Amino acid sequence: MFKDFNIDDLGDKSQNSQLGSPKAVFFPLKPPETIDRLNMLARVLPKYISMRLEKFNKFEIFYVYFLNKNNSGGNDVQVSLPENLCDEKFIIDYLDKLNIKYDIAFYGRINTLADGGISISIMSYSKASQKSSEIYNAGFKLNEINDKIGDISYKISLAADCEGDYLASEDHESLQKSETGSFETLYDYFEVIDDLTLRNPYTPLHDSIVDKALEALENDKSFDHIIDSIAFICDDFLRFNMSDKALQICDRGISVSKSAYKLYLTKAKILLNLGDYENAFKTLRECLDINPGIGDVAFNFGKLALSMQKAQDAKFAFNKMIECSFNVSSAYDNLGVMAAAEGDIDSAINFWHKAIEFEPAKVSAYTNLARAYIELSDFEKAENYLQKARLLNPSYFMIYLNYYVMHKTLGNKEEAEKNYNLAVEHNPDLALTDEIRAELKKMITLIDSDKENEALGICAKISEMTDKCWQAYFLSGIALRKLKNIDEAEHNFLKSAQINQKFPDAQNELGLIYLSKGKLDDAMMLFNNAVSLAPSNAGFLCNLGLCLIEMKNYEQARNTFYKAKYISPNDTKIDECMEFLNKRCGTPQAPDNAGLKGFLNKIKNLFKK
C-alpha cells in the first residue's frame, strides 16, 4: 500500500521575491586611488549591505562589479572603477546603456580622515522622482564599522522601500543590529568575499583564502555570512572534482563550529554525490541531534531517510519539521503516506487533513485522501477530493491515476482506460514496467558495444508494448545516429522530446542534428531549452556556443563557452573552443567562414552526452 499513495517530493518551498518588488542596484563606492584597504572596502561594503537587504526576499538586487579581463598575469579579473562613479549622470547613463531595470540605485564615496578614520557618503537615485538624495554621511574609526553598518543598512532599506509596502518596521529595525560583534571576523569576511570575486575562476582556490575564512569562523562561530562563504568554497572545489578537499574543509569548519549546520548540509550533499548514503545519513543525523531546531536540517534528513526506507528516522525528521514550523504541510502529507503504508488509514486521513489545513492548495494531500476513500469504498468522498485536486492542478497525473483505480474498482472499464491514458500523458514514466526497464538496460549495453541493429530490434519490441516510452525513442535515436541514419534519428529524438518535454538530452541531440542541417533557429531554440532544463551541463552550453558560432555571433558564443568553462574548468575541449573564439571575436565581420567549417567538424561531436 505504500506505493499506492503519492509521497510529497519535499521540493524547495521557499518563495521567490514578489512580482513587482522593488529593483535596487548597488554600485561600488568611489575610493581614493592609492589606498588598497579602502579599495577593498569600496567594493565589498555595498555588496555586503545588499546581501543583508536580500535576505528578506522582498527586493530584486543587482550589484555592479566593474570587473575586467586582466592580461598582466595573476588573477584573470581586476576591478577598474570609473572616475565619475559618484556622478548622478554617469549612474543614469550606465543603467540605461546596459538596459538594467531598476527603481533605485545606490552609489557614493569612501575616503580617509585626518585621524586615520574613514568617511562614507551614500547617495540614492530614484527613477520615479528622477532625483538623487544623500541618505548617509558620517566619519568613524575603522574598528567601529560593525555598528555603523547597521545604521547604513537601515537607511538604505528605508530608501529602497520608500512607500513601506514591502518591509515591516521590525524588519527595518533588525538591520540596525550588527550580525557579528567581532571586527576581526567582519574584516576577514570582507577580504574573503573580495578574494572570491577577484580570483581566477578557472583554477582551484588558494589555501590562503580557505585559511582566512576558517580563521574568521574561529573569531565568531555563528556568523552566517562566513559560514555561507565556507560552504561556497567547498562547492567551488567540487567544480574541479576535488571532493576530498571539499570534505576536508567541511570537517575543519565543523570542528570549529558545531552549530554551522550549513557545513553539515554541504558535507552530506558531497557524500550523496559520491554515493556514500550511509555516511551522508550519519552526518545529517549528527547535525539534527546538535541543531534540533533547524527545520532545513530536518527537511534534508527526512528526505534522505525516506529514500533509504528508514521509516522511523523519516517520522522523527517530519515531526521535527512540524516542531520547527518548517514546510509543515509536506511533513504532514508524508506522515500520512507512511501511516497508510502501515495500514493505519484513519491516522493517514487525519495527517492529510492537517496538511490541507496548513496549505489549502496541497494537491497531493487531496489525491492521497481520494485514494484513501477509494480503499474504504467511499467513492463519493473520493470523487469530491479528486474534483478539488483537478481544480487546483489539472495536469497532476495522480488525479487521473486515482480515477483509473476508482473506475476499475467500479467496473467502468472505458472510463478507467481513458483516465489511465491521461495519467500516462502527464507522466510518461507510468508506462514503464519491470520488463521494459530490463529491455532498456539491454539496449544501453548493446549500443555501448556497437551492436546498434540489435538495440533497434529491442526498441521495436518495446514499441509493441507501449508507444509512450520516451527512453526507447531516445536510445534508438542514439543507435540510428551512430549508424549515420540521421533522418530516422531526428524522428526518434523528436518523438522522445515530445513525450517527455522535460528531458534535456533529447532536445540537445535534436539540436545537434538541426545544427548539422543548417536549421540554426530551431537548433538555437532546442539548445536553449536543454540549458534551461539542465543549467549545470557544460556540454549543452558548448553546443549552444557552436550554434552561435554558425550564426556568427562570436561574442555571445565566447560568453557561453566561458560559462561552460566555469562549470567544468578541467575540460580541455572547452579550452580549444575558447581559444578559437578569442581569435574570431576580434574579427566579427569576417567576409567568409574560412576555416570555420573544419573547426566545427572537428569539435561538433565533442560535447554530446
- 137 falls within a domain: yes
- 216 and 138 in a single domain? The answer is no
Q: Which cell numbers in the block locate residue 576?
A: 580549444
pLDDT band for position 69 (cuts 50, 70, 90):
low
* Strand pairing category for 67-69 and 60-63: unpaired
pTM over 0.75: yes
Q: Which three cell numbers stand for residue 13?
A: 518551498
CA distances to 349, 551, 554, 578, 594 from 585, in Å: 63, 13, 5, 10, 14
- 44 and 174 share one domain: yes
Q: Are 100 and 25 spatial neighbours (Cβ–Cβ below 8 Å)?
A: yes
**Domain harbouring 109, CATH code:** 3.40.50.10070
For residue 536, tell me if it sits in a domain.
yes
Clarify whether residues 494 and 561 are in a common domain.
yes
Instruction: Tell me how far apart the terminal alpha carbons of the chain are, to the nearest angstrom.
Output: 38
Position 602 pLDDT exceeds 70 = no
Residue 485 sits in the same domain as residue 578:
yes
Q: Is residue 340 included in any domain, yes or no?
A: no
**Which of 184, 243, 242, 189 minimizes the C-alpha distance to 213?**
189
- What are the pLDDT digits (tens) for 172-186? 999 999 999 899 999
- The domain spanning residue 220 has which CATH number? 1.25.40
- The residue segments making up the domain with residue 93 are 23-178
Helix residue ranges, H only, 308-433: 311-323, 328-341, 345-358, 363-375, 379-392, 397-410, 413-426
* Domain end position, chosen among 223, 245, 266: 266
Q: What's the CATH code of the domain at 442?
A: 1.25.40.10
165 plus 196 within the same structural domain:
no
* Selected residue with higher pLDDT from 453 and 70: 453
pLDDT of 23 strictly over 50: yes
* Domain's final residue, options 178, 205, 235: 178
| pLDDT tens, residue by residue, 242-273 | 999 999 999 999 999 998 999 999 999 999 99
Residues 201 and 155 in one domain: no
Residues 220 and 116 in one domain: no
Transcribe 415-460 into DSSP letters.
HHHHHHHHHHHH-GGGG--HHHHHHHHHHHHHHHTT-HHHHHHHHH
Q: Within a domain: residue 373?
A: no
Q: Do residues 448 and 552 share a domain? A: yes
Q: What is the pLDDT of residue 596?
A: 44
Per-residue pLDDT tens over the stretch 426-443: 999 998 999 999 999 999
pLDDT in tens, 445-468: 999 999 999 999 999 999 999 999
Query: What is the count of structural domains for the chain?
Result: 3
Among residues 266, 284, 299, which one ends one of the domains? 266
Average pLDDT over residues 85-114: 93
Model confidence at 577, pLDDT cuts 50, 70, 90, reads confident
Residue 609 has pLDDT above 70, yes or no: no
The answer to whether 243 and 270 have CB atoms below 8 angstroms apart is: yes
Per-residue pLDDT, averaged over 593-605, amounts to: 44
The stretch 371-378 carries a mean pLDDT of: 96
Write down the pLDDT at residue 563.
92
Q: Are residues 447 and 589 in the same domain?
A: yes
Q: How confident is the model at residue 74 (pLDDT cuts 50, 70, 90)?
A: very low
Whether 257 contacts 214, CB under 8 Å: no
Shared domain for 577 and 519, answered yes or no, is yes
In three-state secondary structure terms, 401 is: helix
Using CA atoms, how far residue 144 sits from 129, 186, 191, 213, 252, in Å, is 34, 11, 17, 21, 30
Q: Is residue 346 part of a domain?
A: no
Domain assignment of residue 45, yes or no:
yes
pLDDT band at 13 (very low <50, low <70, confident <90, very high): very low
Confidence of residue 36 (pLDDT cuts 50, 70, 90): confident
582, part of any domain: yes
Q: Is the residue at 609 inside a domain? A: no
Q: Do 563 and 481 lie in a common domain?
A: yes
Please give the pLDDT value at position 377.
96
Average pLDDT for residues 363-388, to the nearest whole number? 97
Whether residues 67 and 99 share a domain: the answer is: yes
| Average pLDDT, rounded, for the chain | 90
pLDDT higher than threshold 90 for residue 7:
no
Relative orientation angle of helices 183-198 and 145-160, to the nearest 10 degrees: 60
